[in-house]
Amino acid sequence: MAYRRTENVVRRLNARHDAIVDAARDAATEGGMAAIQIVPVAARAGVAAGTVYRYFPSKIELIGALVESESESEIKAVRRAADAAPGPLSALAAGVATFGARALRRRRLAWAVIAEPIDSDTESVRLKYRRDLAAEFEARIRAAIDGGHLPEQDTERAALGMLGAMLEGLIGPLAPEPGDEQAAHARLREAVQTLTLFALRGLGVVDAHARGLVVQTVLPGEG
Amino acid sequence: MAYRRTENVVRRLNARHDAIVDAARDAATEGGMAAIQIVPVAARAGVAAGTVYRYFPSKIELIGALVESESESEIKAVRRAADAAPGPLSALAAGVATFGARALRRRRLAWAVIAEPIDSDTESVRLKYRRDLAAEFEARIRAAIDGGHLPEQDTERAALGMLGAMLEGLIGPLAPEPGDEQAAHARLREAVQTLTLFALRGLGVVDAHARGLVVQTVLPGEG
DNA sequence: TTTTGGGGTGAATCATTGTTCAGTCTTTCG
DNA sequence: CGAAAGACTGAACAATGATTCACCCCAAAA
C-alpha cells in the first residue's frame, strides 16, 4: 500500500465536504432552492462538478445535508430558548419567537429550506425539518396544557397552525419587507412579536397575559 | 375571403380553450403542479401538443389561466359566504371557514394552486391569488375592527397569519389526512373548525364568542 | 364543388441539468 | 525517487420537457 488517509488528508476532505455544503447554502441564500445546481455550486466551492459526486451520491443528498444542517441549528436554538424560560407557557412563547426572529434574519434561506417548492424527490428531506419543528412546538404546547396553562385541544393542528402563521406572516412571499436599514431592526422585532402574539392567542392564551409573555421572551431569541 | 370565424367555430375554439384548462386542472388535481406538462395535458384534452400553443403562448400562461380560474371561483365563494353573514365578525368567520372547507375538499388542487413550489417564472401568477385572498381577509378584519369587534392591530400581518394557519393546518404537507370515508366528513368539519377557531382567537376574539361564531358559520361554507 | 385561409398535427429541435468516467494529478510510503 | 492508491477534473452523455414548424385538414363562402 502506498496511499493512506492520513490525518491531513482527512482534514482536507472534511473541509471540502463543508465547503460544498456551504456553497449550496450560499446559493440557496441568494437564489432559493432552484439556485442549487451542481456545476455552479461546485464552482463556488472551488471544485469540479465531478468532485461533488465524491462527497454526495446525488444532488438530493447534498440538499439533504444542507437541510439537516440548518434544521439542527435552528431547532437547537429554539430548544435552548425554550428551556431557558421560567415556565411552560413562556417556554412556548420563547421557542416560537426565537424561530421567527432567526428565520426573519435570513428570510430567503429559511424559506428555501423549509417551504420553497422544489421537485418531489427533494421534498421528503425537507418534510423532516418541518415535522421536527412542528413536533417541537407540539411538545411545548402539550406541556403547557398539562401544566394547566392552556385549554385542552388538538395539539397537532395547533402546532401546525402556529407554524403556518409564523411562516406565512414572516417569511412567506407576501410578507412585507422591512424598509430602510434604520427602522429594519425595530420592524423585524415588531413583526415577530405580532405573529407570536397571534399564535399564542390562537392557542387560547388570554391577550393580556400573552402580550406580557411575548415582550418578555422575544429579546433573547434575537441574539 | 373564404374562411370566417363563424359562431360555430368560435364555440369550438372556446370549448377547446376550456378543455385544455380543464385538463391542466385535472393533472394538477392528480399530481400537483409538476404534473402539468404540455404533452400529457394536450393528450388529456384530446389535442396535439402544438395545439396548446395556439391557445396559450407558453406553459406559464396556461398555468396562469388555471390559477386565475381557481382564484376567481374560490374568492367568490368566500365573499358570498361572508356577505351572507349577519355581522362583520361572523362574516370573517364565515369567509375563513369557507375557504378552509373548500380547500380541504380538494386538497391537492388547492395546495398546487396556492402553495406548491414551482419554478420562479410561474411563481408570480400564483402570488396574485394569494395576495387577493389575503386582501379579502384583511378587508374583513378591517371591517370588524372598525365595528369595534376586534382590537386595533396590524391587519396585513393578521391576515397573513390567518392564511398561513389555514394553509399549513389544513392542506399543508404535514396536515393529517382524514382517515376512513365514514369519519372523513366529520373530521374535515372538525379540522376546519379547529383552525378557524385558532385564527379568530389569534385576532383577539374571546374564546367563548369565537367558538359560537365558528359553529354558526362553518356549515353553509361546506356546501 | 372548388377555393381558401386559418386550425391542427406531432415528430424534431432546443435548452437545461444532473450524472458519469477515462484520463490526470497528488499524496503517501517503501 | 518511484510505484501505488486515491482524489480531481471537466467534457461528454442522458434524460426530461418546453417549444417549433413544415405539412395536412376542414369549414366557410362562392
**Residue-level pLDDT at B5:** 75
Q: Which residues contact B4 (CB under 8 A, 6 or more apart)?
A: none
Q: Which residue is nearest to nucleotide C9 (CA to C1')?
A: B48
Q: Dmax over Cα atoms in chain B, in whole Å?
A: 73
CA–C1' distance B160–D8 (Å)? Answer: 49
Per-residue pLDDT band for A221 (boundaries 50, 70, 90) equals: low
Distance CA A80, CA B157 (A): 27
* First CA to last CA distance, chain B: 51
Q: Residue A222: pLDDT above 70? A: no
**Residue-level pLDDT at B183:** 77
**Residue-level pLDDT at A118:** 76
Q: What is the mean pLDDT of chain B?
A: 92
| Cα angle value B106/B112/B115 (rounded, 5°) | 115
Q: Residue A56: pLDDT above 60? A: yes
DSSP conformational letter for A147: T
Partner B contacted by A30 (CB < 8 A): no
Distance CA B134, CA B161 (A): 9
**Residue-level pLDDT at B115:** 85
Q: Is B220 exposed, middle or buried (0-12, 13-18, 19+ CB in 10 A)?
A: middle
Give the three cell numbers for residue A79. 430548544
Q: What is the mean pLDDT of chain A?
A: 92
Q: What is the CA radius of gyration of chain B?
A: 20
**Residue-level pLDDT at B36:** 96
Distance CA B25, CA B20 (A): 9
Q: Which residues contact A30 (CB under 8 A, 6 or more apart)?
A: A108
Taking the C1' atom of every nucleotide in all shown strands and the CA of B59, the nearest one is: D18
For chain B, list residues with pLDDT below 70.
1-2, 120, 221-223
User: Of the candidates B158, B173, B204, which has its C-beta nearest A130's C-beta?
Assistant: B173
**Residue-level pLDDT at A1:** 57
Q: What is the mean pLDDT of residues A205-221?
A: 84
Quote the pTM value.
0.92
Q: Which residue is nearest to nucleotide C17 (CA to C1')?
A: A37
Which protein residues have a C-beta closer than 7 A to any atom of strand C?
A: A 1-4, 6, 8-9, 34, 36-39, 49-50, 53, 58-60; B 1-3, 5, 9, 12-13, 16, 47-51, 53-55
Chain B residues in contact with A166 by the CB 8 A cut-off are 164
Q: Residue A75: pLDDT above 70? A: yes
A25-56 residues labelled b (16+ CB within 10 A) or e (exposed): bbbbbeebbbbbebeebbebbebeeeebeebb
Q: What is the CA radius of gyration of chain A?
A: 20
Q: What is the mean pLDDT of residues A127-138?
A: 96
Q: Residue A117: pLDDT above 80? A: no
Helices (H) and strands (E) in chain A, counts: 10, 0
* First CA to last CA distance, chain A: 52
Q: Which residues contact A166 (CB under 8 A, 6 or more apart)?
A: A96, A99, A100, A103, A195, A196, A199, B164
Closest residue on chain B to A161 (Cα): B165
Q: Residue A147: pLDDT above 60? A: yes
**Residue-level pLDDT at B124:** 80
In percent, the amount of chain A with pLDDT more than 70 equals 96
